[in-house]
């Protein structure tokens, strides 16, 4: 993610440098992935590879490509779908069938890629969400494979943070955690004991970040007025975000976050 979004060296608007990359505006970088990866569907292992590669592509998340020999092609059925990418060529598509289930158009490949992308030949790519489970070595991964150039850092801070909505103080703390994540603005996480939970309601929303874990959300309610999904937190964060376990981060339209007297509005 840091290579292709938002100001990485392979993005559409790279950060300031003292050099120039000669080449097309839309860039491809095909890099071996260093660990074993498996994907399962309907109780069957569909791919098992130690030779996968990540395709870093301008403006997109990295995509895993797997040698055809590492895929159980007997579980694949070709479809009539054809797509064209101006940077890679014409793609053929397959559905995955196993255990009485079908994942339609879940797999694609560039059988005859255009010049400059020939290394894609002989590789297949899978829609992540079409498979039931993915394993990076022996650990299940949710969301997508972690980009080796993406990182999360959490630091204790002494900034004074005040969160308000509809005139009510929702949270106030002199001891937030600052979470820095590649390509994203810093996020301030507030200790749960410094939050006025009487203004919060449980939300059904859930999201998954491959770098931080599964997030739960809270809705703000003040005098009958609601701001949906205005805060999130990680009950069981992944290793790089352990310091914000249970801490809340606020970001939504109608929520104002004042940091050391500087206002940030969602």
pLDDT 10s digits, 9-40: 888 888 898 988 788 889 999 999 999 999 99
pLDDT of residue 6: 81
Q: Which CATH superfamily is domain 152-265 in?
A: Domain of unknown function (DUF427) (2.170.150.40)
Q: Which strands sit side by side in the sheet containing 168-173, from one edge to the other?
A: 168-173, 161-165, 255-259, 262-265
Here the tokens at position 30 are 């095909």
The predicted model scores a pTM of 0.88
pLDDT, tens digit, 9 for 90 and up, residues 36-60: 999 999 999 999 999 999 999 999 9
Query: What SS3 state is found at 104?
Result: strand
The answer to whether residue 91 scores a pLDDT higher than 80 is yes
157 Cβ contact partners less than 8 Å away, ≥ 6 residues apart: 175, 176, 177, 178, 188
pLDDT of residue 266: 53
Instruction: Answer whether 28-140 and 152-265 agree in fold.
Output: yes
pLDDT of residue 223: 95
Closest CA to 128 of 42, 65, 183: 65
What is the separation, in whole angstroms, between the first and last Cα of the chain?
A: 24
Specify the CATH number of the domain 28-140: 2.170.150.40
For the chain, what are the domain ranges?
Answer: 28-140, 152-265
Per-residue pLDDT band for 7 (boundaries 50, 70, 90) equals confident
pLDDT, tens digit, 9 for 90 and up, residues 102-145: 999 999 999 999 999 999 999 999 999 999 999 999 999 998 99
């Amino acid at each position: 993610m840091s290579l292709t979004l938002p100001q990485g060296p392979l993005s559409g608007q790279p950060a300031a440098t003292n050099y120039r990359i000669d080449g097309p505006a839309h860039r491809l970088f095909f890099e071996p992935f260093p660990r074993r990866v498996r994907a399962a569907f309907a109780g069957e292992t569909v791919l098992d590879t130690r030779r996968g590669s990540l395709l870093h592509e301008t403006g997109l998340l990295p995509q895993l490509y797997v040698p055809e020999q590492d895929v159980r092609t007997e579980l694949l059925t070709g479809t009539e779908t054809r797509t064209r990418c101006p940077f890679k060529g014409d793609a053929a598509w397959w559905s995955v069938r196993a255990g009485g289930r079908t994942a339609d158009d879940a797999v694609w490949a560039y059988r005859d890629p255009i010049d400059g992308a020939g290394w894609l030949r002989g590789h297949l790519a899978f829609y992540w969400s079409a498979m039931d489970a993915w394993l990076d070595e022996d650990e299940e991964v949710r969301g997508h494979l972690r980009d080796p150039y993406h990182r999360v850092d959490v630091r204790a801070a002494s900034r004074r943070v005040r969160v308000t909505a509809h005139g009510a103080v929702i949270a106030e703390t002199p001891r937030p955690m600052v979470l820095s994540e590649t390509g994203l603005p810093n996020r301030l996480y507030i200790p749960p004991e410094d939050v006025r939970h009487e203004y919060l309601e449980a939300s059904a929303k859930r999201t998954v970040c491959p770098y931080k874990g599964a997030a739960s959300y809270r809705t703000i309610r003040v005098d009958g007025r609601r701001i949906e999904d205005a805060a999130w937190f990680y009950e069981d964060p992944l290793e790089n975000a352990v310091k914000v376990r249970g801490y809340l981060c606020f970001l939504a339209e109608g929520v104002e976050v004042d940091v050391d007297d500087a206002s940030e509005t969602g």
